[in-house]
Amino acid sequence: MEKKFVFTPKLRYITYALMVVGIIAIAIAFSMDPTRGWVNLLLNNFYFLSIAIGASFFLALQYITQSGWSSAFKRIPESLSMYIPIAAVFMVLLIFGMNSLYSWIQPERYHFDEHELHLLEHKSPYLNVTFFIVRLVLYFAVWIFMTQMLRRFSLKEDMEGGVAWFAKSEIYSKVYIFTLALTFSLASFDWLMTLEPTWYSTIYSLKNFISAFYHGSAVIVLVVLIMHTRGYFQFITDAHWQDFSKYVFILSIIWAYFWFSQYLLIWYANIPEETTYYVKRLSGSWEVNFYVNLVLNWLVPFLVLLPNYFARKKFILAGVIIFVMIGHYTDLFEQVIPGTLGEYRIGLVEIGTFMGFAGLFLYIFMRTLSRASLIPENHPLLEESLHHTGH
Amino acid sequence: MNKSKIFGVFDQEEKLVSSIRSIKAKGISISDVVSPYPVHEVFEELNLKTRIPVAAFLYGIFGLLTTFGFLYWTSVVNYPLVFGGKPQNTLSFVIIIFVMVINVTVAFTLITFFLIEKKGPGAKPSVEYPGISDNRYLIVIDITPETDVKALNKLLMDTGAVEITEQ
């Protein structure tokens, strides 16, 4: 059995090249229109942060349910969640761009009517710059602490063995999912929903949380698929693929459920403050994006992974996940852009910034992955994962 | 009385599956397996194939299209009522479509299944044995002139059958 993932110089240079593209794209964006630069930073940082958060949630869930089947892959969610400190750096950086992103900071600069200004004043005990920064620091403190602890326990387990570290990880995971549910919900309110400060939806945070879990799991599956074709994880059976595609399939349905819940409640209640969100997104070229989002994130995985036959085919599963990951971008694009830049525009700047963040994300991921053995040898449930049969 | 079938009765899923494997290894063909719930290994061992899921999927599509057609006709074409300025052709149809797709799929699949298997209210069951819908698993083997009944009985007994009867 291979011991370690090798971060070859070739892979390293690819990630460097991607990062250079990203830096150039961001520089162009800032020289043309600073707002566009800040928006792209926020959008792409949240994209990869939510993957990291979703992966860490996946890891915590495997500990809590004491799942055996996934234990051989646990280094992957662990390494994916190591992006969180980098995301923290970018979010701190974004504090300097808050004025161009969030209209609630200086509402007089925007076209708010009297009623809307009154609403913003009503929200000001929560929505003010100081408290925003305090919360931001608090969220990242919790996430970084918890993911680093889980990582440390896992590495100690490799050295010492026994079940003590597993038991400890389980307790930390239990604490983590509760704190994560609260902090990530508030974080998605803070960073994305307040881009349109007079609009509100309480299910918004749930949708973003599920979206993070969904796309985090999808990335884990994609990474395992790619590594399998490169010669790692050769013990994988059909039952593993079945379980992986089940994850993607079920989460796509849950995602659609929350996506639709938000729409239906707003449609049904028909409150002007709420409906503006969908009116904006169902007019002009945004309408295409609205339905493409649903097709990529739900319809494609649902229809393709429905037959058992497809669910076990690696390349079909990988193709579906690529669609889902594009879907995650359209989803965030729809949440961020209408409230900030307003017009529907995907140019080289957007693509370049995405490539840059992807390079950074992959660099952090592969570097972390190469530092510890790929298979957690002393995991108490490892044998179950190596001989997984499905039932 | 002409006895034509041997029933091997089991009380554990694992024993049932291992028994099926050893019977198959002897080259004896199993005509039926009865269990209170679906056992995946049995499908794999007996190589059972079904096209019911395909039929169910098609019924689902049918339910989706007809329900959407009905809703579209009633609320957009035939009697367009504007309430609260809401658009008439909206995703709010999804709730009713969702429920109707389940309804249509389940009903039609059930009818299809009954027709194919010749089951349903009033039909005579092909296998009768106390406990098969409760906690008993059956392996049904047809007796042909070549069948070595004694050896078969011994094989079933050795693999953990709690009872062996003939019908």
pLDDT digits (tens, 9 = 90+) for A79-126: 999 999 999 999 999 999 898 899 999 888 888 888 889 989 999 999
- Report yes or no on B123 lying in a domain: no
- Report yes or no on A66 lying in a domain: yes
Q: How far apart are CA A168 and CA A343, in angstroms?
A: 49
- B99-123 average pLDDT score: 91
- B113-139 average pLDDT score: 84
Q: What is residue A2's predicted lDDT score, i.e. its pLDDT?
A: 56
- Do residue B32 and residue B57 come from a single domain? no
Phi, psi of B35 (to 5 degrees): -145, 155
- Do residue B75 and residue B108 come from a single domain? yes
B→A interface, C-beta within 8 Å: 40-41, 53, 57, 84-86, 90-92, 94-95
**pLDDT(A151) > 80:** yes
- B42-69 average pLDDT score: 90
**pLDDT(B111) > 80:** yes
Greater model confidence, A342 or A293:
A293
- Band of pLDDT at residue B2, cut at 50, 70 and 90: low
Q: What is residue A130's predicted lDDT score, i.e. its pLDDT?
A: 94
Q: Quick check: helix, strand or coil at residue B13?
A: helix
**pLDDT(B26) > 60:** yes
Residue A268 touches partner B, C-beta closer than 8 Å: yes
Residue A272 touches partner B, C-beta closer than 8 Å: no
Greater model confidence, A390 or A189:
A189
Q: What is residue A232's predicted lDDT score, i.e. its pLDDT?
A: 87
- Report yes or no on A63 lying in a domain: yes
Q: What is residue A168's predicted lDDT score, i.e. its pLDDT?
A: 93
Q: What is residue A112's predicted lDDT score, i.e. its pLDDT?
A: 87
- Band of pLDDT at residue B96, cut at 50, 70 and 90: very high
- A134-158 average pLDDT score: 94
- Do residue B111 and residue B136 come from a single domain? no
Q: What is residue A379's predicted lDDT score, i.e. its pLDDT?
A: 87
Residue A207: name the closest of A98, A293, A306 by CA: A293
Nearest CA in chain A to B14: A391
- Report yes or no on B126 lying in a domain: no
Q: Token match 């049995």: residue?
A: B42
Q: What is the rounded (10 degree) CA torsion for A267, A270, A275, A278?
A: 20
Cβ-proximal residues to A194 (8 Å cutoff; 6+ apart), any chain: A102, A104, A127
Residue A391 touches partner B, C-beta closer than 8 Å: yes
Nearest CA in chain A to B41: A391
- A286-305 average pLDDT score: 93
| A391/B41 Cβ within 8 A | yes
pTM: 0.89
Give Cα separations from B33 to A187, B13, B50, B110, B152 (angstroms): 55, 12, 15, 20, 16
Q: What is residue B32's predicted lDDT score, i.e. its pLDDT?
A: 86
Q: Token match 């004491």: residue?
A: A66
**pLDDT(B89) > 80:** no
Q: How far apart are CA A324 and CA A288, in angstroms?
A: 17
Nearest CA in chain A to B89: A267
- Band of pLDDT at residue A139, cut at 50, 70 and 90: very high
| A260/B91 Cβ within 8 A | yes
Q: What is residue A248's predicted lDDT score, i.e. its pLDDT?
A: 93
Residue A307 touches partner B, C-beta closer than 8 Å: yes
Q: Please tell me which of the candidates A260, A263, A267 has its beta carbon nearest to residue B86.
A: A267
- Report yes or no on A4 lying in a domain: no
Q: Please tell me which of the candidates B57, B86, B95 has its beta carbon nearest to residue A270.
A: B86
Distance from CA of A107 to the nearest CA of B (A): 29
Q: Quick check: helix, strand or coil at residue A14?
A: helix
Biggest alpha carbon distance in chain A?
Answer: 68
- Do residue B64 and residue B88 come from a single domain? yes
Cβ-proximal residues to B61 (8 Å cutoff; 6+ apart), any chain: none
Are B23 and B139 in contact by the 8 Å Cβ rule? The answer is: yes
- Do residue B62 and residue B97 come from a single domain? yes
Q: Provide the CATH number for the domain around residue B145.
A: 3.30.70.120
Q: How far apart are CA A158 and CA A173, in angstroms?
A: 18
* Domain boundaries, position A142: 9-368
Residue A138 touches partner B, C-beta closer than 8 Å: no
Q: What is residue A391's predicted lDDT score, i.e. its pLDDT?
A: 58
- Band of pLDDT at residue B131, cut at 50, 70 and 90: confident
Residue A82: name the closest of A56, A47, A63 by CA: A56
* Domain boundaries, position B104: 52-117
- Report yes or no on B149 lying in a domain: yes
- Do residue B63 and residue B105 come from a single domain? yes
| Opening angle at CA B26, ends B25 and B31, nearest 5 | 90
- Report yes or no on A39 lying in a domain: yes
| A390/B40 Cβ within 8 A | yes
- Do residue B67 and residue B110 come from a single domain? yes
Nearest CA in chain B to A389: B41
- A201-207 average pLDDT score: 92
Tell me: the pLDDT tens digits for A235-245?
888 888 888 99
Greater model confidence, A112 or A57:
A57
Q: What is residue A14's predicted lDDT score, i.e. its pLDDT?
A: 95
Number of domains into which chain A is organized: 1
- A12-16 average pLDDT score: 95
Q: How far apart are CA A84 and CA A102, in angstroms?
A: 23
Residue A255: name the closest of A294, A211, A285 by CA: A211
Instruction: Give the least confident one: A2-16, A279-293, B78-92.
Output: B78-92
Phi, psi of A379 (to 5 degrees): -65, 130
- Band of pLDDT at residue B1, cut at 50, 70 and 90: very low
Number of domains into which chain B is organized: 2
Q: What is residue B40's predicted lDDT score, i.e. its pLDDT?
A: 83
